Amino acid sequence: MRTLLKRVVVSGMAAGLLVPLAATSAAAAPAASGSALYAPTALVLTVAPGEDADRTSPARAVTLSCTPKAGGTHPAPRAACAELDSVQGQFDRLGEDDGRPCVKIWDPVVVTAQGTWQGARVDFERTYGNTCELQAEGAVFAF
């Protein structure tokens, strides 16, 4: 019985020493791999019929992550991230000087972008006159 008790105590002490060591190395792993070397970019993008996002439900929604690589549920994450990079994440500058002709039929569509862009908080909403005007914006809200 005494031998069994000694084994349990020794095993418990050894396990107690290994747990803090494992926790320390697991905590140090992300910093060593370089994953903390970039500011996060993670967005939720929505498209909804109507003039105001607060008064409608999204018809479509996707996620977009641009750092460290383009991804998410967006159908063209690389193109969307490249467009956002070209305007330094300023959603209101998307599609500037596009020149695409659209009919002037009022059938409003509202888009939103919420999350972070290179570590900065994003809370964007814009209403377009119709889907043609929205499509002229490019790849970010093309889903």
| Predicted local confidence at residue 60, as pLDDT | 97
Residue 29 clears pLDDT 50, i.e. is over it? no
Residue 141: pLDDT band (50, 70, 90) is very high
Could you write out the DSSP letters of every residue in 49-118? ESS-GGGS--SEEEEEEEESS-BSS-SSHHHHHHHHHHTTT-GGGTTTT-----------EEEEEEEEET
| Predicted local confidence at residue 100, as pLDDT | 76
| Predicted local confidence at residue 36, as pLDDT | 58
Select the CATH number that applies to the domain covering 41-135 from these four: 3.90.78.10, 3.40.50.720, 1.25.10.10, 3.30.350.10: 3.30.350.10
| Predicted local confidence at residue 44, as pLDDT | 98
Domain boundaries, the chain: 1-34, 41-135
